[in-house]
Amino acid sequence: MRLATIRTPKGTRAVRVDGSTAVETGHPDVGVLLVERNWATAAASATGPVHVFDGADLAPVIPQPSKIVCVGLNYRNHILEMGRELPRYPTLFAKFAEALLGARDDIELAPESDAVDWEAELAVIIGAQVRRAGELDAEAAIAGFTVLNDVTMRDWQYRTTEWLQGKTFEATTPIGPVLVTPDELPGGVRPAVTMTGQVDGETVQKADTANLVFDPVALVQYVSTIMTLRPGDVIATGTPGGVGHARKPPRYLADGMTLTTEIEGIGRLHNVARRP
């Protein structure tokens, strides 16, 4: 099943995506839908108003997650290109909902930064409350997956040893276009899919999620040891090699550049970088 949050003249609406059509589920967004105990049944049986999905105004698939937990240094090739050793534990940092954008929204290039970089990522969306999850509980807690780009202000990220200040500038992080449930992806809750990032049509990142050091189930287990994960929470699983900061010379986003992030079986983000 595929779910999305669309913008309508009456506000945002959660929809089930059936090919080129979108059927409202009766919820204001996918995050609210996931709070229902039997959300999958409710979404599958929904018969609300129908929209044309192609060309719909897409909101962030989860507009207001209570938590966005991000993982740094989780692809072997990216770790090596940044000159680091493989980690023993996941490197975690946070992002806030104000940073999120829809799949076709413009990325805001903060005037305070001259080093805006791209980070294509697979994101996990939680569908059930879980704490200190074992493997089976972690698998059951995964509602599905979506595409995210952790656009980063590198000059702010490296002002200190803490990364948050470069990672959560407002209106910088596209997420969507849809949530895809694990049963529709090869590998299920450990999806084996190819991710691609492009800048102005040039492929700058490409990786298979099999290259992850910590897979989605392991991340749900680890993060839920620290805090309760709730429906609609997001875990961004990290980016592969090919980021602009690691290039020689470094390369960053500029006004008018187009950032395209795609994961096979899930969908594509297409965002233009704009100076406010």
* Torsion over CA: 195, 215, 183, 128 (sign): negative
* CA 102/CA 202 separation, integer angstroms: 22
Q: State which of 59, 84, 103 marks the end of a domain.
A: 59
169: left (phi over 0), alpha (psi -120 to 50) or beta: beta
Same domain, 96 and 6: no
Q: Which residues of the chain have pLDDT under 50?
A: none
pTM: 0.96
Same domain, 192 and 104: yes
Same domain, 161 and 33: no
Same domain, 85 and 138: yes
Terminus-to-terminus CA distance in the chain, angstroms?
A: 37
Give the per-residue pLDDT at 211: 85
Determine the structural domain holding residue 25 and report its residue range.
1-59
CATH no. for residue 39?
2.30.30
Tell me the pLDDT tens digit for each residue of 244-259.
999 999 999 999 999 9
Same domain, 54 and 127: no
CATH no. for residue 127?
3.90.850.10
Closest-CA residue to 75 (of 185, 191, 214): 214
Give the chain's domain count. Answer: 2
Same domain, 229 and 142: yes
